[in-house]
Amino acid sequence: MGYLFGYEGFENGNKGTFDQEQTWGGGTLSYDSGSLIDGTYTLKSSMSAAGEGTVKEDLGASYETLFIQFKIHLPSGWSFDTGTYFGIMNVLDSSNNNLIGFSIEDWNGYYRLTSWSSETEDWRDIGESVAVNNTYKIEVKLVKKASGGEIKIWVNNDTEGSPDYSFSGDVGDTDVGQILIGNVYSDGSHDPVYYDSVIISQTFIGARAIVTQINIGDDWKEIEGMKINIGDVWKTVEGLQVNIGDDWKTVF
């Protein structure tokens, strides 16, 4: 499988395996137990004014090519200040410099996915609209090159060869060392947004992220396509059921 990070589903009711939380201004973070996306808990990021509410992961190395997948939920009745935007994911270099950010913008009452590159100063309309009372699985591919670089985006789409957005060209040549997930920046207030199921990889993720963890003794373990040790017995669990504490769980 070879994930660099994740699957992280916040199922311990905290930041989980992310390195740290970041908040400033009107941004706040909490962990909602309302089963809004996958499992029980989601990361809840709220904004009462301009600010930030994110979780951050330092990858421990710099990468030219990355795939980043996460889920986002916009609840029923959700809204934010007309004509403003908020970031949902940013990539940074190992020295905390912003490289590329991905945002939702209000375009006169409807919401569009966009991106901004700090290196090349390019703004891009991803061409995908999002609606309230919906959950979206977003996967981003980055190839950080000045020539032959790539940005590809899949929205609720597991077909690697058919991205919903594709750009090839100069996307800056500074490698990625850190990831921010959550409300990276908002230039106004907005209702809470929910995030879940974060994976970072060097290869396409797609549908492999559907189910990757089960809870064993209050400890969440990644199990898709692997073996795990239960009571000192190794069991192959992909596509099977295993008995954990007299409770049969389907784990594919």
Tell me the per-residue pLDDT of 160-203, one tens digit each, with 9 for 90 and over: 999 999 999 999 999 999 999 999 987 777 788 999 999 999 99
**Domains recognised in the chain with CATH numbers:** 3-209 (2.60.120.200), 211-252 (no CATH)
**pLDDT, position 111:** 84
Alpha-carbon span 172 to 169, nearest angstrom: 9
The dihedrals phi and psi of 206, each to the nearest 5 degrees, come to: 55, -135
pTM listed for this prediction: 0.82
SS3 (DSSP) at 21? strand
**pLDDT, position 226:** 46
Contacts of 131 (CB under 8 A, 6+ apart): 74, 111
Consecutive H or E run containing 73: strand 65-74
**pLDDT, position 125:** 87
Instruction: Considering only the C-alpha atoms of the chain, give the largest distance between any 2 of them, rounded to a whole number of Å.
Output: 58
Q: Is beta strand 20-32 parallel, antiparallel or unpaired with respect to 42-63?
A: antiparallel
> What pLDDT, in 10s, does the model give residues 88-127?
999 999 999 999 999 988 876 678 889 999 888 888 888 8
